Amino acid sequence: MELLKMLSANEIVAQIIGFLILLFLLRAFAWKKVLGFLDKRKEQIASGFKEIEEAKADIEKMRLDYDAKLASIEQAAKHKIHEAANESKVILEDARKNAHAQAQEIIDNAKNSIKYELSKAKEELKNEIIDLTLKATENVIQEKLTEKGDRQLVKDFLDGLDKL
C-alpha cells in the first residue's frame, strides 16, 4: 500500500497510456514479425520431428533388411557346412576304400611272396635231403654193414637234418 501512496493517479494513468501505446506500436510493427518468427520456428521443429520419424522408419527398414540378409547368410553358411560335411564323408569313404584295397593288395603280395619263398625253401630242403641221402647211402655202401654202424649212420643222418 505504501507503493500506491507514493504514486499519483496521473502517473498511473500515464503509465497505462504509455503501455497501451507501446502495445499498439509493437502489434502494428513487430507482432507479425514475432509471430512469423515463431511460426517459422514451429515449422522447423515440426520438420525436424518429421525428418526424425523418417530416419527412424529408414533405420527400421535397414534393420529388417539387415536381419533378412543375416538370416540368408546364416542359411547359406549352414548349407555350405552341410555340403562340406557330406563331401568329407564321401572323401573319407573313398580313402577308406582305397586303404582297404591297398591293404588287400599288400596282403595278397605278401601271401604270394610267402608261397614263393616257401616253395623255394621246400625245393632247397628237398635238394638238401637228396644230397644227404646220397651221402648217407654212399657212406653205407662204403662201410661194412653192421647193425651198430647202421644205427650210427642213421643217427648221423638225423643230426645232419637237425642242423639244417
Domain enclosing residue 94, as ranges? 2-163
Q: What is the largest CA-CA distance in the chain?
A: 186
- What are the distances in angstroms from CA 11 to CA 23, 84, 111, 152, 161? 18, 99, 138, 172, 159
Please tell me the distance from the alpha carbon of residue 164 to that of residue 124, in angstroms, as a whole number. 11
Average pLDDT taken over every residue of the chain: 85
Q: How many domains, in total, are found in the chain?
A: 1
- Residues of the chain where predicted confidence (pLDDT) is lower than 70: 1-5, 139-140, 142-146, 149, 162-164
Angle at 96 between CA 92 and CA 99, to 5 degrees: 135
In sequence order, what DSSP letters do the residues of 109-134 get, joined into one string? HHHHHHHHHHHHHHHHHHHHHHHHHH
> Could you tell me the CA-to-CA distances from 158 to 129, 130, 132, 135, 138 in Å, in that order?
11, 13, 10, 13, 16
Pure H helices in 8-146: 9-25, 31-142
Q: What is the pTM of this model?
A: 0.40
* pLDDT, position 14: 92
Q: What is the pLDDT of residue 160?
A: 75
CB atoms within 10 A of CB 136: 16
> Cα–chain-centroid distance for residue 89?
15
Q: Say what the pLDDT of residue 3 is.
A: 63
Give the model's pLDDT for residue 2.
67
Q: Distance between CA 100 and CA 92 in Å, rounded?
A: 12
The reported pLDDT for the residue numbered 57 is 94
In the prediction, which pLDDT does 48 show?
Answer: 94
